[in-house]
Amino acid sequence: MKICAIGDPHGELNNIKKIPLSGVDLILLTGDLGSASLMRKMAFENIERKKKGLLEIDYSNSQKKKAFMEAYDSTMKIIKYLKKFAQVFTIFGNVESSNSETKKYSKEINFDLPYLYNGLNALENVRIINNRLANFEGIKIGGLEYFVDTNWVKEFKPLNYAESLFNSKKETNKAVKILKWFDSLDILVCHQPPYGFLDKVGSMAPKDWRGKNAGSKTILDYIKRKQPKYVFCGHIHEGKGMKKIGKTEVYNLGVAGYKIIDI
């Protein structure tokens, strides 16, 4: 069984096309499928302005729609290309929006927006494994969608700290329950790396984030206890590489990096 795991594509179709997919039986994706260039630019500009005591830029609804559609359209192009080669399993990272989030955002900006979950679900050979167990030819795979771990909020101290901590506690409790339900796995596909491994923030982030560990202690605890054979993640692109935690091989595949395994 030949499996190809691919790190956050971020709409980089040209890089995806360089991956040797002939003979691959299954493709795994770590989330952040589409380009987030406009989203990141808008978000980080306002983060920096807040820190300087400046008013946030009030982007127009048309600009917000353009950023959303950049991510949506590039996601669909990536997935439609990959599914020609093999079955595709993907999780959602922090770029993707759930149907409920998209519905809310559509009302907020007064534009009808397409539902990514529905668009991907309608494609043959594609399966979204957010917080799900998948059995592929006897291989047990768990897909854990992106969540904000409480340790990230405590370490990075976002400006809306109290609200962020409250929300992260709910998300973390949910992730703990899902990982407990997964029990033992052959492969865990998650978005962020485990805390302290392949997760150090680099120079592209805001200054007070750089050099900090941005991984998840919840994921680290699971790996230490259950020792899946492989963990594939992304999110912290500058952390690309491989580390072992006990018997587990953890791969941060960066942006459109890949690892082919025979299992």
> Could you tell me the pLDDT band of residue 116, with boundaries at 50, 70 and 90?
very high
Res 207: pLDDT: 79
CB 68 within 8 A of CB 108: no
Q: Which of 135, 153, 133 is nearest to 143 (CA)?
A: 133
Return the structure tokens found at 163. Answer: 């609200």
Q: How many CB atoms lie within 10 A of CB 96?
A: 26
Q: Kindly report whether the global pTM for this prediction surpasses the value 0.75.
A: yes
Task: Give pLDDT tens digits for 55-65.
Answer: 888 899 999 99
Rounded to whole angstroms, the Cα distance separating 102 from 64 reads: 12
Per-residue model confidence as pLDDT tens digits over 10-22: 999 999 999 999 9
Evaluate if residue 46 carries a pLDDT over 80.
no
Q: pLDDT at position 58, please? A: 87
Task: With a cut of 90, say whether residue 174 has pLDDT above it.
Answer: yes
Residue extents of the structural domains in the chain = 2-262
Q: How far apart are CA 106 and CA 237, in angstroms?
A: 30
Q: How many Cβ atoms sit within 10 Å of the Cβ of residue 45?
A: 13
Distance CA 255, CA 214 (A): 17
Q: Note the CATH number of domain 2-262.
A: 3.60.21.10
pLDDT at residue 39, rounded to an integer? 87
The amino acid at 256: A
